[in-house]
């Protein structure tokens, strides 16, 4: 399968009155056609900043200072463009077309004074100058049907307020799908919805990815949300990738103490009595990030080296990597053990 997005050694900084916020450091990952990748982390982990860098929606005081972002074969990191105008032009072409977005609150995305039909048609016509209005209307109805909106021929002329929260998010998904994107980026797409509706919307996103072959990147603070949905998972902490793996690797062979901590916080339906143990402490201040492992202050297994040196990644498989000094320690012990035999 073709790689749709390839992010290499991404580094993003924000300039603030207090100093430089080291928001993202050395983050590398890729996504292939039809794959669903979850990016999991608490606020300040760098998960949203990473994806906003990809979408070209970083705030003005943010800059990509190192690394590469290759989307659909093209380099799209802001630093690789001669000026801001050519960058903005390129990203406007891409967004809503080959790269689509679904945000947390559909009402921030939908225009309250336009019918949803008009909003879907506009997305289609903006990127397909040869399409007629009639064709756009037919395609809009087809999209509404595809995302499970009943009686689309009638409802196409209604306004956003006439739909429930779940239905509105379906409309946003219809708009995201309008131009057959190669990549859909969903930022906490179900946080604003009821639990039962959440599951339906996630299922819809998964189904749409299967049907269209679009890759999906799901940004979330909740590892439980991505459990049944994602093929691969990136666990981010303090602006870095703590661990990355397939769903099986993350859930059955977690390596990083932070990943293990997150797993302990998930409610296990087969084990109701299990106590949920949130990880005590708070994330590092990225104005003054620790010299060593960003997780050091909250890690129950921290060693001396963790305070002073950034952990190197240990590679377990083509898909599974983790940045924790415990792996080095284990290797060394194994070596020593072997040599005294």
Residues facing 100 on adjacent strands? 184
In the complex with ligand SF4, the residue whose CB is nearer, 184 or 279, is 279
Verify binding: residue 14, ligand SF4, rule CB under 6 A. Answer: no
DSSP label at residue 165:
H
Do 94 and 109 contact (CB within 8 A), yes or no? Answer: no
> Which one of 77, 209, 299, 314 is in contact with ligand SF4 (CB under 6 A)?
299
Given Mg ion, ligand SF4, none, residue 14, with its beta carbon under 5 to 8 Å by kind, binds none
In the complex with ligand SF4, the residue whose CB is nearer, 68 or 313, is 313
Sketch the per residue contact string, 319 through 338, with ligand SF4: x for CB under 6 A, - otherwise: -----xxx------------
Sketch the per residue contact string, 250 through 289, with ligand SF4: x for CB under 6 A, - otherwise: ------xx--------------------------------
Note the residue count of the chain.
341
Identify the three-state secondary structure at position 335.
Answer: helix
Burial of residue 122 (CB within 10 Å: 0-12, 13-18, 19+) is middle
In the complex with ligand SF4, the residue whose CB is nearer, 135 or 328, is 328
Give Cβ neighbours of residue 76 (< 8 Å, ≥ 6 apart). 54, 56, 69, 70, 90, 91, 94
Provide the angle, in degrees to the nearest 10, between the axes of the packed helices 133-146 and 165-177.
130
Verify binding: residue 220, Mg ion, rule CB under 5 A. Answer: no
Rounded CA-CA distance 233/298 in Å is: 22
Given Mg ion, ligand SF4, none, residue 48, with its beta carbon under 5 to 8 Å by kind, binds Mg ion
CA contacts within 13 A on the Cβ side of 247? 13
Min CB(306)–ligand SF4 separation in Å: 3
Do 224 and 232 contact (CB within 8 A), yes or no? Answer: no
Verify binding: residue 37, ligand SF4, rule CB under 6 A. Answer: no
Given Mg ion, ligand SF4, none, residue 311, with its beta carbon under 5 to 8 Å by kind, binds ligand SF4
> Which one of 203, 301, 333, 335 is in contact with ligand SF4 (CB under 6 A)?
301
Restricted to residues 30-59, the positions that interact with Mg ion (CB under 5 A) are 48
Interface residues toward ligand SF4, by CB under 6 A:
256-257, 293, 295-296, 299, 301-303, 306, 311, 324-326
């Amino acid at each position: 399968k073709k790689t749709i997005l390839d992010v290499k050694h991404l580094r993003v900084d924000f300039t603030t009155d207090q100093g430089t916020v080291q928001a993202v450091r050395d983050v590398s990952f890729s996504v292939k056609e039809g794959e669903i990748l979850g990016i999991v982390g608490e606020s300040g982990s760098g998960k949203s900043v990473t994806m906003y860098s990809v979408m070209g929606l970083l705030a003005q005081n943010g800059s990509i200072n190192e690394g590469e972002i290759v989307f659909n074969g093209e380099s799209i990191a802001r630093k690789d463009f001669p000026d801001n105008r050519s960058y903005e032009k390129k990203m406007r072409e891409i967004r809503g077309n080959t790269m689509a977005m679904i945000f947390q609150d559909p009402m921030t995305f939908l225009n309250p004074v336009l019918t949803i039909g008009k909003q879907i048609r506009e997305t289609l016509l903006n990127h397909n100058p040869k399409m007629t209005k009639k064709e756009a209307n037919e395609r809009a109805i087809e999209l509404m049907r595809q995302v499970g909106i009943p009686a689309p021929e009638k409802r196409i002329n209604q306004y956003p307020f006439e739909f429930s929260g779940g239905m509105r998010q379906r409309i946003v998904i219809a708009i995201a799908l309008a131009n057959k994107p190669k990549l859909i980026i969903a930022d906490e797409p179900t946080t604003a919805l009821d639990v039962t509706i959440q599951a339906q919307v996630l299922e819809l996103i998964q189904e749409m990815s299967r049907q269209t072959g679009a890759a999906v990147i799901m940004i979330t603070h909740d590892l439980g949300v991505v459990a049944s949905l994602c093929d691969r998972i990136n666990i981010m902490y303090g602006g870095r990738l703590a661990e990355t793996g397939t769903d099986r690797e993350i859930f059955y062979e977690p390596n990083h103490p932070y990943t293990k901590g997150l797993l302990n916080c998930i409610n296990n339906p087969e084990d109701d009595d299990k106590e949920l143990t949130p990880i005590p402490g708070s994330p590092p201040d990225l104005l003054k990030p620790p010299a060593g492992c960003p997780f050091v202050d909250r890690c129950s297994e921290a060693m001396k080296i963790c305070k002073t040196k950034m952990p190197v990644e240990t590679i377990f498989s083509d898909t599974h990597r983790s940045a924790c000094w415990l792996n080095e320690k284990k290797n060394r012990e194994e070596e020593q053990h072997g040599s005294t035999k």
